[in-house]
Chain A
Amino acid sequence: MKLRVHVTPRRGVLDPQGAAVKGGLTNLGFDGIGEVRVGKVIDLTLASTVDAEAALALGRDMARKLLANETVEDFEVEVLG
Chain B
Amino acid sequence: MKFGIVTYPGSNCDHDAYHVVKHVLGCDATFLWHKDRDLQDVDCIILPGGFSYGDYLRCGAIARFSPITEEVARFAQHGGYVLGICNGFQVLTEAGLLPGVLRTNSQLKFICEDASLVVANGHTPWTVLCPETVVAPIAHHGGCYYADEETLGRLEGERQVVFRYAQRDGTETDEANPNGSLNNIAGITNARGNVLGMMPHPERNAESELGDASGAWIFRSIIHSFLEGTRA
Residue A13 CB within 8 A of the other chain: yes
A17 to B101, CA, bound (A): 17
With A16-B108, A17-B104 known to touch, is A71 a contact of B148 (CB < 8 Å)? yes
Residue A20 CB within 8 A of the other chain: yes
Residue B203 CB within 8 A of the other chain: no
> Which of chain A's residues has its CB closest to B147's CB?
A71
Q: Tell me how far the C-beta of A32 lies from the nearest C-beta in chain B, rounded to whole angstroms.
A: 24
**Interface residue total, chain A, C-beta cutoff 8 A:** 10
With A66-B61, A67-B57, A71-B147 known to touch, is A16 a contact of B101 (CB < 8 Å)? no
Question: Do residues A17 and B108 form an inter-chain contact, with CB atoms below 8 A?
Answer: yes
| Residue from A14, A67, A72 with most neighbouring chain B CB atoms (10 Å) | A72
A14 to B106, CA, bound (A): 9
Could you mark each residue 103-126 of chain B with 1 if its beta carbon is under 8 Å from any beta carbon of chain A, else 0? Answer: 111111000000000000000000
Question: Do residues B101 and A71 form an inter-chain contact, with CB atoms below 8 A?
Answer: yes
Q: Which of A4-60 contact B (CB under 8 A)?
A: 13-14, 16-17, 20
A13 to B147, CA, bound (A): 10
Partner pick for B103 among A20, A66, A67, A72, CB 8 A cutoff: A72
Could you mark each residue 124-166 of chain B with 1 if its beta carbon is under 8 Å from any beta carbon of chain A, else 0? Answer: 0000000000000000000000111000000000000000000
Residue B58 CB within 8 A of the other chain: yes
Sample 11 A-B pairs with CB under 8 A, ordered by A number: A13-B146, A16-B107, A17-B104, A17-B108, A66-B57, A67-B57, A69-B94, A69-B101, A71-B100, A71-B101, A71-B148
Q: Which residues of A contact B (CB under 8 A)?
A: 13-14, 16-17, 20, 66-67, 69, 71-72
